[in-house]
Amino acid sequence: MSTIPRAAEALVTWAEERLPEMLVDIEHVIRCESPTVDLVAVARSADLVSAIGTRRLGFEPERLVIDGVTHLRWRLGSPAPEAPRVLVLAHHDTVWPVGSILTHPFSIQDGVLRGPGCFDMLTGLVMAIHGVAALGHLEDTAVTLLVTGDEEIGSPTSRTLIEQEAAGCVAALVLEPSGDGGALKIGRKGVSLYRVEITGRAAHAGLEPEKGLNATVEMAHQIAAVTRFADPARGTTVTPTVAQSGTTTNTVAAHAAFTVDVRAETAAEQERVDEAFRSLESVTGAAIAVTGGVNRPPLEVSAAEPLWRRARSLSERMGIELPGAIAVGGASDGNFTAGIGVPTLDGLGAVGGGSHADHEHVIVQEIPPRTALFVALLRDLLGLPVV
């Protein structure tokens, strides 16, 4: 135990010395724009991330293209099934459309780094690559670094891949950005997405409205009904988002539809709300069809709190600021790993703020200690000395 503080101090020093190289890599990935919906841009981003990772890790990743979306996977260490393995998760897609780099240029001023996707989560991606590279040669343990390309739209092509890689791992570490003040994310609500479609009957609104069956009126009843599925005491929100109905101003609406975003802290709450959606009944006689369902399971606090306490213990021994803990409404790929029972800690990436917003930014001085903590946690989980 007496040698750990000295070794941990060396790890922080290593991260500080590595900062200039990390900043170069961060600038490159920010300038290579990668909106999820633009598959060509995502593939181009994958090329760049692959090149950076190959240079830092010493070998090329597996390039996995699923339904046109490009993901990258590096596997390090022992291939033995019984070898302790940690999954490191990052994503290289962003929400910013191509051209945003012109209106939100990359910059570093007064210790603040800016640029599209810098906080969510390109800085964390670079931290993940450099941190895994710091492990060096692994013999009896293993690490998988999985970089996905569709996280921002719910990981439709990468979910199965994530769950397959997480199966049997001792832990999953997610380099998504931190919570306020650098807090680690020990809870994320699960996400369910629904679309409610209503079919009525058209008629002339002036001549014979009584012959119609108004889908807009039915939609109003159904929107009121689904909002009652929410349970604030349990942290469950049910939010109608987008609605469409009708065709012309003088026609009884024959069709209507609306979408609903549901967030819940537990799988049991997701199941309760799902059953409620399946039991919707028409008020006016219009036909109702419900599609959708659970998109991401929750990352429940029980899956993350032990890892957070482990991280706090390491940070205390390393002489760096102790990270707090926070539960948030937004989801990440960590929801999937927690959903299959793998201990998961999220928010290990950049400290800053403004995800998806004009003021998106990263605090540069926080990059080295966060990277050092990430490496220390990796080594600790693998049973390696913290050096």
Catalytic residues: 93, 151
3-state SS of the chain is CCCHHHHHHHHHHHHHHHHHHHHHHHHHHHHCCCECCCHHHHHHHHHHHHHHHHHHHCCCCEEEEECCEEEEEEEEECCCCCCCEEEEEEECCECCCCCHHHHCCCEEECCEEECCCHHHHHHHHHHHHHHHHCCCCCCCCEEEEEEECCHHHCCCCCHHHHHHHHCCCCEEEECCCCCHHHCEEEEECEEEEEEEEEECECCECCCCHHHCECHHHHHHHHHHHHHCCCEHHHCEEEEEEEEEECCCCCECCCEEEEEEEEEECCHHHHHHHHHHHHCCCCCCCCEEEEEEEEEECCECHHHHHHHHHHHHHHHHHHCCCCCCEEEECCCCCHHHHHHCCCCEEECCCCCEECCCCCCCEEEHHHHHHHHHHHHHHHHHHCCCCCC
Residues 291 and 192: beta-carbon distance below 8 Å? no
CA–CA separation, 273 and 279 (whole Å): 10
CA–CA separation, 179 and 308 (whole Å): 13
